[in-house]
Amino acid sequence: MQIVSYNVNGIRAAISKGLLNWMEQRKADVYCFQETKAEQSQVDTKPFELLGYNHYWFSAHKKGYSGVAIFSKLKPDLVEYGFGNENFDNEGRIIRADFGNVSVISVYIPSGSSGDERQSYKMVWLDHFHQYINKLKLQKQQLIICGDYNICHQAIDIHDPISNKNSSGFLPEERDWLSSFLDSGFIDSFRRFNPGPHQYSWWTFRQNSRERNKGWRIDYCMVHENLGEKLIASGIHADIVHSDHCPVWVEIS
């Protein structure tokens, strides 16, 4: 199973930049999309279906904002939309698809970069998310949680850790949360195979950051340790440019 996670920064914009052609070439089994910024009814889904994909969308109540989706060759046994908590689900940030014993989640963790209020919301959201995953693990131990986590874990994951030490996405409390999440039984699949520096998944549009590779690694394919022996490979498609993010991927036997 090959799973690709991609914050498309607006799926309609990404389609106009060649997303479908790339998907046809890439031929992943599952795509986890984030920041779709659209409802299913606003997108012509027939081309995706012609490529053989079943598709499931969970959109925000606010138009043109947030949203996640899962596209898969294999039809899931079950799809769960959101947490089941309206206080968190109105922003459309989590969707889960079950394939036999394996559960794949597409998640779009909030950003706190717009100010203190959203940063506080982000920390509350992270606590709720971790509680949700801990409960889910009692039922579904073979979890693959892909998405935009909006957190760089270590200094190696950000181009300038010193100047960004007080920036949302690299705050000590966020990094501590991600450490505790990994310690609860998850593997950062990319780092299992790629220990080197200067490998990122998001670049600001400003100051030619992408051309200069001044980026952040904030997109992850987290795999439950029960699947550790089945990990084959994981990587980043840094050359794919439909978005300010690029796709990340994991392959499991």
Predicted confidence pLDDT, tens digits, the chain (253 residues): 999 999 999 999 999 999 999 999 999 999 999 999 999 999 999 999 999 999 999 999 999 999 999 999 999 999 999 999 988 999 999 999 999 999 999 999 999 999 999 999 999 999 999 999 999 999 998 999 999 999 999 999 999 999 999 999 999 999 999 999 999 999 999 999 999 999 999 999 999 999 999 999 999 999 999 999 999 999 999 999 999 999 999 999 9
Domain assignment of residue 50, given as a range:
2-252
70: three-class secondary structure by DSSP: strand
Q: Any catalytic annotation for residue 98?
A: no
Residue tagged active-site, from 77, 116, 127, 148: 148
Taking the model in full, what pTM does it have? 0.97
Give the chain's domain count: 1
E-assigned strands of the chain?
2-7, 30-34, 54-58, 68-72, 78-81, 94-99, 102-108, 142-148, 186-188, 219-224, 231-236, 248-252
CATH of the domain at 38: 3.60.10.10
At a CB cut-off of 8 Å and minimum separation 6, what does 195 contact?
Answer: none
